[in-house]
Structure 1
C-alpha cells in the first residue's frame, strides 16, 4: 500500500490470510467474526476477561473504547451544562482533576480486564473548547503512564497536532470520505469537504504513526469509494454503519 509522498506501509494480514487490519464493533459477542481482524475496537464493558483472552489467543489485539471529553454517566461535578446533540453525552472540563482520575481509572480497569490497548475518542474539541486542548494532551499522557496500554489509537484529534503523534501509536480519521445524513442514508462528503480532509490527510502522512480511516456506507459503490480514497492516503480502512453494529 503506497503512502502518498512517502514510504509504503505493509498492511497486516487477517487470520484467514485476507488483509483485514482493523474493525470497530460496538455490539457484543461475535467472537469468531472478530478473529478475522488484527485489531478490534470494542466497548470496554461488553466483553469479559475470558472473551478477551480468547481473542488474544487467536492473535487479535483488542482496544477498549474510552471517551476523553464527554461523559454519558450520571450528573457529576466535572460536567459542563452543554451536551452532545447527536449522542447525548455531557461535555466536560477536561482539566478537572476529578475527571482526569475518573478517565485514568476507566483506562486502568480496561487494561486489567484484558484489553491490550485503548481507543481514545471525542478528541475534536478545538472549535468548542480550545482552552482544553493542553489539558487533553496531559490527560493522554496520564493514560499512557498509568494504564500502560500496548497500543493507543486516537480518533481525529487534529487540534492536538503535531504533539499527539508523540503520545499515540495510531491516528484514525473517522468519516474521512462519507457521512450519515439526516434522511437516514449515507453519501460522500461534498467536494470542498473532501479537499479539506485531503489536506489534513497529507499532514498526517508526515507523522510517525499508523493511519486508519473509518467510514460509513450503505452501498457497495460508496464502500468502494471510501476504501479506494483511504488507500490513496496510506490509510487502512474499515467501513460500517453509523452505530458500528456490523462487522
Structure 2
C-alpha cells in the first residue's frame, strides 16, 4: 500500500520513493530514465521550482536582500527576465520527465506584498506554458482564493512542528497553532488537495504532527529540516 506524498531533496532511493503516490524532488538530481522508472511504478514526480528566490549567480532580477536561512536572493517577481527564467526551468523539468511541479517560496505577503499580482501571473503562466499533470503550491496564503483556481494542491509547510535553533525540533506555541488552524479551516473550503509537511526528530512529535494534520483534512509527511529522510 503506497503512502500519499514524500518530499526528498537527495538523489537516488528509487525503490523507497516508489512507495509514494507523489514525490517532490530536486529537478537536477534525477535523470529521465529514473523519472520514467518511477512513473512506471505509479509514482507521480513533482519537480521543485522556486518562484521568488534565486540561488543562482547575481542577476538583474535580484533584490539586494537575501533569505537569511538559505542564502538565496529575493527577486523582483514581475521582472520579465525572471519570468522567462522560471518558465524555462519549468519547461526543462517537464521535458525531462517530471509529471508536475512543486511551487515554493510563495509566502511574500509580509515582505513584498506589491509582488503578489505578479506571482499570480507567473503561476498562471507556468500552468499555461507547461500543462503539468499536477501543480502543488507551498503555502501562498496571501494569494488566496485566486491561487486555488491555478493549482491542484496546497501544502502547509511546518503546520504543527518546526526546526528551531541548535538543531532541535518542537511543536509551535499554542498561539501559532491557533493561527495555523484558522488558515487550515479556510483551506478546507477550497477545491484543492491539502497536504502538511512537518519537521520532527522523535516519534512523539511525528505522531502529534500527523494526528493534527488529519484533524484538518491534510495528508502529512514528516522529515528533517533539509528533507534528507524518507
* TM superposition score category, shorter chain reference: over 0.9
In angstroms, what is the RMSD of aligned CA positions? 0.4
Q: Which residue of 1 aligns with 2:19?
A: 36
CA distance in 2, matches of 1:207, 1:142: 21
Instruction: For residues 31-50 of structure 1, give each alpha carbon's deviation from its aligned partner in whole angstroms, at most 9, with x where no partner exists.
Output: 00000000000000000000
User: Could you say which residue in structure 1 is the equivalent of 2:127?
Assistant: 144
Residues 87-130 of structure 1, C-alpha deviations (whole Å, 9 max, x = no match): 00000000000000000000000000000000000000000000
| Structure with higher helix content | 2
Q: 1:62 aligns with which of 1, 23, 45?
A: 45
State which of 140, 154, 166 in structure 2 corresponds to 1:183: 166
Partner of 1:226: 209
Is 1:161 equivalent to 2:141 in the alignment? no
User: How far apart are the structure 2 equivalents of 1:242 and 1:44?
Assistant: 19
Q: Distance in 2 between matches of 1:214 and 1:183?
A: 21
Give the number of equivalent residue pairs: 230
Q: Distance in 2 between matches of 1:95 and 1:63?
A: 24
Residues of 2 paired with 1:150 and 1:144: CA distance?
A: 9
Number of the residue aligned with 1:47? 30
Following the alignment from structure 2 to structure 1, what is the Cα–Cα distance between the partners of residues 160 and 13? 27
* Equivalent residue number for residue 87 of structure 1: 70
Deviations 1:215-242 (A, max 9, x none): 0000000000000000000000000000
Offset, 1:147: 1.1
Q: Take 2:30 and 2:179, find their aligned partners in 1: how far apart are those partners?
A: 37
Separation in 2 of the partners of 1:179 and 1:44? 25
Aligned to 1:6: none
| Residue 132 (structure 1) aligned with residue 111 (structure 2) | no
Gaps of 5+ in 2: none
The 1-side partners of 2:171 and 2:198 are apart by 10
User: Given the alignment of the two structures, is residue 238 of structure 1 paired with residue 221 of structure 2, yes or no?
Assistant: yes
Distance 1:209 1:196 in 2: 20
- Report the secondary structure of 1:112's partner residue: helix
Cα shift readout 1:195-223 (whole Å, capped 9, x = no counterpart):
00000000000000000000000000000
* TM-score normalised to structure 2 length: 1.00
- Structure with the larger RCO, 1 or 2 (CA within 8 Å, 6+ apart): 1
TM-score (norm 1): 0.93
